[in-house]
Structure 1
Amino acid sequence: MTSRRTGADALVRQLYTEHVGAILAHTTSLTRDRAAAEDVTQETLVRAWQHSEALSNGQGSVRGWLLTTATNIVIDLSRRRKVRPHEVSITPDGPSHEAPAPGDHARSVVDGVTVREALVRLRPEHREVLVEVYLRGSSMAEAADTLDLPIGTVKSRSTSARRAMRELLAN
């Protein structure tokens, strides 16, 4: 067992020397966060150490295995973040209220109902622009095409509609 681990240690040192730059560049491009990329790179090398037999059998591309493993780790992290509740940051003044507290489903339901009621009270031409741009995610140009309006009209209606929504929601 000791000789196998010694061989695995030597293999990981070699992998680090030969491939760490490529793994780090790849994970940085995926995560857009240097610290997260370094963590993923480290986890990739730990998995290489754990599966050293698969890497030393001479079959397949070692770099391909490493980059695929790194990609899978990034995907797993992303999936975990999506199912995890939003984190509340703690400041010296207490918790930050930028996002609803985890499990505050009732508040988001009330907010949704409030926004829908305000949308119904908007003028139809304002509502259709807001729905197209903010709910359907269309760009101003796409909304102009969909609504068969000049882009300038879509922009001005969007500005007026947002102002009207602010007033409705303030009351």
Structure 2
Amino acid sequence: MTDLTERPSAAVDSRAMSNLLVRVGQARDRQAFRALFDHFAPRIRSFLLQRRVPKAQAEDITQDVMLSVWRRAASFDPAKAGASTWIYTIARNQHIDQFRKAKRAEQMDETDPSLQPEPAPAADDLCEMSESAQSVGAALETLSPDQRQVIDMAFTEGLSHSEIADRLDLPLGTVKSRIRLAMGKLKTTLGDLV
């Protein structure tokens, strides 16, 4: 039996790291993640610096790697790989992705029309858009509070009908009905703007 106060062997250390990673994946255990972060972040940074990654970029990649570890820990399978192998694979892949992005950026044609910003709208177009926005705002005020709420959630927040029903604790049919009635009223009020 190994006394855990002594320096653990590589196998015990590897198992401990795998167990920490499993705890992060299964229970979002912050203390386990902190231990993984404290152990791996300096090593990953050193790993990247040895590959001649600039210091600032190495620090950014290290943060991205550890964020990926937090997000993807549930997909870690200790039967397939050790924690160290799994985490360093993420680091290697992040480094390759950064390298490829930098290469693509170097090859980018800055004169490409698709990369040019849209021209500013003409003053009369801005005025027309402002008037349209005011008309829509006034039309929304004519809706009942229930109808206005579902329209706002659907179009401003981009929620689906099911998500709105869940959030408001309403039947899906009620949400659909409110949206349909509200859209009909807005179409009548606004005419060509809808």
Q: Could you say which structure has the larger radius of gyration?
A: 2
TM-score scaled to structure 2, two decimals? Answer: 0.40
TM-score scaled to structure 1, two decimals? Answer: 0.45
